[in-house]
């Protein structure tokens, strides 16, 4: 008895050159996103702003199906503006994060709850209490639905607590 491994390469309409270019952009995006996160976490907001904008530019050059990367890039840039208390700019990027999520995620996905939450935080910063309350409610409702779909019971108690704690800190 012997085993054979057969590798079959195929493309979904892209040429090898296009795939190589996409891989280069992909690698650059993830490197920029990592640097962006490091700068945000280190409170180096001016550096983070430049790097995070570059990450958004790169992610827009990737295929539209790369929604997780796209949401992450817009979220991070929103975080930079939020940390700088530039709430209008933060809201713009958070809304884009949410729009992407609304078109691609299920109402039971926690990522969608976080996107609503980010919009709520920026609205809160702008003093738009009604908009903030509406988005906090959507975040909590979405997170409740997400919690109901989590397979591990140990994770369920922490999902809503995280959103509530963060809403109370603003």
Q: What is the pLDDT of residues 155-165, one digit of tens each?
A: 545 555 555 55
pLDDT, tens digit, 9 for 90 and up, residues 89-105? 999 999 999 999 999 99
Q: Which residue has the tokens 């926690």?
A: 110
Q: How far is CA 161 from CA 83, 90, 95, 154, 165, in A?
A: 22, 24, 23, 13, 6
135 in Cβ contact with 123 (< 8 Å): yes
- Rounded to whole angstroms, the Cα distance separating 93 from 89 reads 7
Which of 48, 57, 102 has its CA nearest to residue 77?
48
* Sign of the CA dihedral running 122, 123, 127, 129: negative
Nearest partner of 119 among 135, 137, 106, judged by Cα: 135
Q: Answer whether 97's CB lies under 8 Å from 71's CB.
A: yes
Tell me, rounded to whole angstroms, the distance of Cα 121 from its chain centroid: 15
157: its two tokens: 């108690």
Q: What is the mean pLDDT of the chain?
A: 87
| Least confident span in 42-46, 54-58, 166-170 | 166-170
147 Cβ contact partners less than 8 Å away, ≥ 6 residues apart: 156, 159, 160
Residue 112, pLDDT score: 96
Average pLDDT over residues 72-77: 97
Residue 10: per-residue pLDDT: 54
Provide the CB-side half-sphere exposure for 115 (13 A, CA).
29
State pLDDT tens for residues 109-119: 999 999 999 99
């Amino acid at each position: 008895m012997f085993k054979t491994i057969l590798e079959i390469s195929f493309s979904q309409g892209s040429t090898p050159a296009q795939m190589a270019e996409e891989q280069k952009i992909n690698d650059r995006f993830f490197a920029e996103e990592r640097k962006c996160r490091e700068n945000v976490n280190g409170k180096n907001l001016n550096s983070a702003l430049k790097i995070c904008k570059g990450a958004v530019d790169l992610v827009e050059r990737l295929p539209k199906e790369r929604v997780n990367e796209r949401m992450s890039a817009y979220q991070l840039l929103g975080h930079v503006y939020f940390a700088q208390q530039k709430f209008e700019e933060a809201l713009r990027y958070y809304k884009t994060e949410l729009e992407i999520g609304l078109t691609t995620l299920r109402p039971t996905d926690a990522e969608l709850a976080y996107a609503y939450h980010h919009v709520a935080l920026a609205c809160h910063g702008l003093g738009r209490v009604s908009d903030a309350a509406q988005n906090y409610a959507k975040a909590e409702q979405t997170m409740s639905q997400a919690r109901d779909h989590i397979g591990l019971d140990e994770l369920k108690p922490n999902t809503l607590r995280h959103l509530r704690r963060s809403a109370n800190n603003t």
